[in-house]
Structure 1
């Protein structure tokens, strides 16, 4: 393993978004990666949640993972009709996502595009929020908007909007990759106005939340073909599951792309626009492999909630939810920064490569997102975490 560790495929790309040193070239990355600011945007548009992204190709022949950060200067700003208030609202949405491609990296790269104005899931999130036709059961004025579906809660309505965005993205992917066999998982965390967190998952990438007092909250659940609800849908659409795989091939039951498993879903076009008028003749939610995500809402409590972790299955093959959070907390207590912790995580992953089990040989991508208060600096968040963890361990009074 010592010789393999020097192979270029094991080189890490670390992007540490600390927002402490403004630069015209955007966030700095240890590997030299930089994301330029979108044209027409100024710093400080959205809330800044400090974060660090780490990726490693590992021993795979290609890097099929992708990630998305739309936060602070690149946060989504959307005009949203709130039917519960019968009023227009401006929302600031920070988006963090990990996309684990298979059969090639085309789908994952497309969905995770950093250009949120022209392509990728960010574009469809903005579109879904601004054009929804949903209403409120508690507001008698819903008829003014010709609402198609009524909801009891705003949280339920927003969950449906996020699901719509995933389905819209899959329609666009069909225009480009209908004849390809590529696909991608997607784990997406949306923080709206710094108050509500929505985690959308399709596939087996995962998101967990670390909370005060050694708490770990699971915010997504893997979609595997052998799970009874997934198995029923696959069988009802004429598919089979063998060796834990759809059609004996795909180890996931939900994903972007993979259109060979969506043959019952039909697409039609009209001449009014490149994607306008496209619709599913058969419900996308009922295909063997569906893109419809599970969406879990969570109201952020800054007194308790500490940080989010989003990662592909290459990371979760090595760690349980609890063990990964404990690893991060332990090193925060030692005074390490997020980029140093991510480096250690990836190093440990590649050192754990086992040719008998296949663990440690996958692409690896992880994002750690601090849940800091609006007026809290990164240094203050580090100090708060270190003091809290030392107190939990009984090292200080």
Structure 2
């Protein structure tokens, strides 16, 4: 299986949701749909190879037995990095990507992108912060005050580009836990 398959799945989900948001705004006049977002964690296992695609702050943990005889113990490994702005690495990536050391601000107990409610650098949705038309091209679109980016931005602030991971599963691997703060 190609690593492009999980990437394409995430891309299809993103495209479908952005189109859904656009239709709800244009046809039904529901502007808040332009700031709705979610993380996305996809796992595919094929021929003993685990493939993960992650966007947002979901996590995947792999549990494995390690050691010999009575010294066997359970070891856990985080398989997917979450894209939370609370991670210094994520803040650094955003600063370099946007040539802006102040793109992330500490506000209401968490690091956020441009003082909005977004705590992640990657997500599905949030069409407004990705500069998706009509959310940033129509002057009639009014951003809810808590989500308004106070300074102008010329390129998308957020991304739906997943990080892809793969691993050949071993006989010692026992379980995978998927975690998300959402529902």
Which of 163, 167, 174 is residue 298 of structure 1 equivalent to? 167
Which residue of structure 2 aligns with residue 258 of structure 1? Answer: 126
Tell me how far 1:166 sits from its aligned partner: 1.1
CA distance in structure 2 between the partners assigned to 1:242 and 1:189 by the alignment? 32
Answering whether residue 40 of structure 2 is matched by residue 186 of structure 1, we say yes
* Aligned counterparts, 1:1-397, within 5 A: 158-178=2-22, 179=25, 180=33, 181-193=35-47, 195-213=48-66, 214-225=74-85, 226=88, 227=90, 228-233=92-97, 235-236=98-99, 240-243=103-106, 244-249=111-116, 250-263=118-131, 287-301=156-170, 303-313=171-181
1:224 and 1:230 in contact (8 A); partners too: no
Deviation string 1:95-144 (CA, Å, 9 cap, x unpaired) is xxxxxxxxxxxxxxxxxxxxxxxxxxxxxxxxxxxxxxxxxxxxxxxxxx
1:291-348 superposed Cα distances (whole Å, 9 cap, x missing partner): 11111001111x20100000113xxxxxxxxxxxxxxxxxxxxxxxxxxxxxxxxxxx
Q: TM-score, normalised by structure 1?
A: 0.32
Pick which of 211-220 and 252-261 moved more: 211-220
Cα deviation, residue 231, structure 1: 3.2
TM-score, length of structure 2 as denominator length: 0.66
**Could you tell me how far 1:236 is from its partner in structure 2?**
4.6
Q: Which has the larger radius of gyration?
A: 1
Contact 1:203 1:255 in 2 (8 A): yes
Task: Indicate how the Cα distance of structure 1 residues 236 and 174 shifts in structure 2: closer, same or farther if over 3 A, else same.
Answer: farther
CA contact (8 A) 1:208 1:309 kept: yes
For residue 230 of structure 1, report the CA deviation from its aligned partner: 3.0
Contact 1:211–1:305 (8 Å) recurs in 2 = yes
Deviation at 1:183, TM superposition (A): 0.6
Describe the superposition over 1:345-387 as per-residue Cα deviations: whole angstroms up to 9, x where unpaired: xxxxxxxxxxxxxxxxxx5x6xxxxxxxxxxxxxxxxxxxxxx
Q: Deviations over 1:156-200 (max 9, x none)?
A: xx222321221222111111113412110011211114x111011
Higher relative contact order (CA 8 A, sep 6+): 2
